Amino acid sequence: MTANGNPERVSYKSLYRHGVDDKRRVQIPAKWRSNQDTVYSIYLWKTEGQRFPCLLVLPPRTAAKLEAKVEEMDFGDPSAESLRRLLGSNSDDVTVDRAGRICLPDGLAKKAGISGESVLVGLFDRFQLWNPEFYEQVEAVDQAHEGQVKSLI
């Protein structure tokens, strides 16, 4: 909490490379941690045109927004049900330990190809965890589209 009683907002910026130990624990950068009791929601994430998946990590506030949006979708809509299954079956919650690490769920880490080393990419209100080789390919695509995507702002 901040001095005025509002929840602390962390901004996830920069790129980090961190090892992943045998228990699938990865260090969260100190600048990205608000406290040790933070529960992050992790989703296997692959957007259209993206060749490899990553792990999308949402802090509580951002996760709550996503979950509220999904919960508002019509129960009779087959696309909404498909989305719920895709997100629900490929997600989990993790807590930051005393050493500032999170333990990646085994199935999600395997599906994202993360072991030994990871690349953490800040996305301002969330961050991604990548297999380093997969990230190199995504980074090349991002750089090729840099001028086009910067026109969005």
Q: State pLDDT tens for residues 41-68.
A: 999 999 887 899 999 999 999 999 999 9
Domain boundaries, position 55: 15-150
What pTM did the predictor assign? 0.89
Residue pointed to by tokens 């085994």? 106
Whole-angstrom Cα distance, residue 1 to residue 31? Answer: 15
The CATH number assigned to the domain holding 115 equals 3.40.1550.20
Whether residue 46 is contained in a domain is answered as: yes
- For 55, the token pair is 């792990």
H-only helix segments in 3-97: 60-71, 78-89
Whether residue 90 is contained in a domain is answered as: yes
39 and 94 in contact (C-beta within 8 Å)?
Answer: yes
Per-residue pLDDT tens for 74-130?
999 999 999 999 999 999 999 999 999 999 999 999 999 999 999 999 999 999 999
Whole-angstrom Cα distance, residue 76 to residue 6? Answer: 38
Whether residue 7 is contained in a domain is answered as: no
Q: How many domains, the chain?
A: 1
Whether residue 10 is contained in a domain is answered as: no
Higher pLDDT, 56 or 2: 56
Whether residue 45 is contained in a domain is answered as: yes
Whether residue 5 is contained in a domain is answered as: no
